[in-house]
Amino acid sequence: MSAMSESQPASPMLIGLKRGLMHRCPNCGDGRLYMRYLKVDPECEACGHELACYPADDGPAYFTILLIGHLVVAPLLFFPWIWQASPFVVAPATLIPLALLTLLTLPRVKGAVIGALWAIRLRKAEDTPA
Ligand SMILES: [Zn+2]
């Protein structure tokens, strides 16, 4: 799976980010990360690594908004047709693709966040017994 040269080992952070972006278990790179759209599989089917222990929380949503906002929305505002066309044309022509792009980006960003958390070995605190 590694495309890196054999002489220089990849850092765990790059490995975790890459595997997370590909929706793969950050520990082995073979098992799938999600059981549904954004629902993380509790345990990797390939290596048995516990995947639900990484506290991604609001990080993926934050980074997705940051990425889409800076790379798509802000440059879009420089196109004159955004300001000149009818709002009834501009709103669906921009909001629907933006919503789809955001929904496609969010699982990849969440995978990357989980991969980064795996690389720095940051896990959820153990639940205290009630
Ligand atoms: Zn695995």
For the chain, give percent helix, strand, coil, nearest 5: 50, 5, 45
pLDDT at 9: 74
Does residue 73 fall inside a structural domain?
A: yes
Q: What is the mean pLDDT of each run of 10 residues along the chain (130 residues)?
A: 60 97 97 96 96 95 96 95 96 96 97 97 74
DSSP 32: B
78 in any annotated domain = yes
Residue 82 covered by a domain: yes
CA of 106 to the centre of ligand 1 (A): 21
Domain that holds residue 34: 12-119
Would you call 32 exposed, middle or buried from its count of C-beta atoms within 10 A (0-12, 13-18, 19+)? middle
CA 48 to ligand 1 centroid distance, Å? 6
Instruction: Output the pLDDT for position 40.
Output: 96
Strand partners, 43: 50
In a domain, 5, yes or no: no
* 3 falls within a domain: no
Provide the number of structural domains found in the chain.
1
